[in-house]
A = this chain, B = another copy of it.
Amino acid sequence: MSGTLTVDGRRRRGDRTREAILRTAAAIASAEGLDGVSLGRLAGDLGISKAGVYAHFESKEDLQLATIASAQATFAAAVVEPALEAPPGLARLWALCDRSLDYLARDVFPGGCFFFSTGAEFDARPGPVRDALALARRAWIRLYEQLVDDARRAGEVVTTAEAEPRQVAFELDALAMAANVDRQLLDDADAVPRARRAMRARLAAIATPDTELPA
């Protein structure tokens, strides 16, 4: 029994270290890109050795893919899961917009949106890292589309061409990305409010006459 406890204790400690590595890696990547996440940099930030970092991963690419998965979990907990607690329909669609802007304003990642920074970094580099980032983006856009479609079925969003789910998803996401750019590159504190205003106007324009936009 004491042997089992020791093994479990070691495994738990190892998992905690791995999670700490991935949180640090995602934070660095948001500011300096996944290329900025070197074993030496991680080791320095975490106060352990390079080998101590590397022992948790099979390769640099494995570390990069695990960092993306960790950032997806962080994003889901900060944005997607809270938004899905809102009542279905236009309220839930607005909640997703609102949470995505809060995620930027709260600096969940120190360098802005992890997926924006790393997507821009890898969008022209074929390989598993780019594939994982493309998959994450498609899932994000698809979630937006789904919520628009749900709101249409619920009769809270019009069924005109300008309210087509793919088009609305594209435009709402575009506004959040521009907020990220202006906030990060221009240090513009008005960027997030500006995006919020535009999102609310877009939702108001596609809401059916008897549907009120939540605060």
**Nearest residue, chain B, Cβ from A182:** B170
Taking CB atoms, residues of chain B closer than 8 Å to A116 are: 120
Asked whether A81 is an interface residue with its Cβ less than 8 Å from the other chain, the reply is no
Give chain B nearest CB distance to A140 CB in angstroms.
11
In the assembled complex, A104 has its CB within 8 A of some CB on chain B: no
- Contact with A110, one of B31, B35, B124, B167 (Cβ below 8 angstroms): B124
Q: A178 contacts B182, CB within 8 Å?
A: no
Q: Decide if B121 touches A185 in the complex (CB within 8 Å).
A: no
**A interface secondary structure, majority:** helix
Apart from A110-B124, A111-B123: 16 A-B pairs, beta carbons within 8 A: A30-B124, A31-B125, A32-B124, A33-B35, A111-B124, A112-B124, A121-B121, A123-B181, A134-B185, A134-B186, A137-B181, A137-B185, A171-B175, A171-B198, A173-B178, A174-B177
Q: Which residue of B lies closest to A33 (CB)?
A: B121
Of the residues B32, B130, B170, B181, contact of A125 by C-beta under 8 Å: B32
Instruction: Report A's interface with B, CB cutoff 8 A.
Output: 30-33, 35, 110-112, 116-117, 119-125, 130, 133-134, 137-138, 162, 166-167, 170-171, 173-175, 177-178, 181-182, 184-186, 191, 194-195, 197-198, 201
A34 CA to B28 CA, complexed, in Å? 18
* Identical copies in the complex: 2
Given contacts A33-B121, A123-B185, A124-B111, contact A170 B166 (CB under 8 A): no
**Closest B residue by C-beta to A162:** B201
Known: A177-B177, A186-B137. A112 touches B123 (CB 8 A): yes
- Residue pairs across A and B with Cβ atoms less than 8 A apart, 21 shown, are A30-B124, A32-B125, A33-B33, A33-B121, A117-B120, A120-B121, A121-B121, A122-B185, A123-B181, A124-B184, A130-B185, A134-B186, A138-B186, A167-B194, A167-B197, A170-B178, A170-B182, A170-B194, A174-B177, A174-B178, A177-B177
Instruction: Decide: B194 and A166 in contact? CB cutoff 8 A.
Output: yes
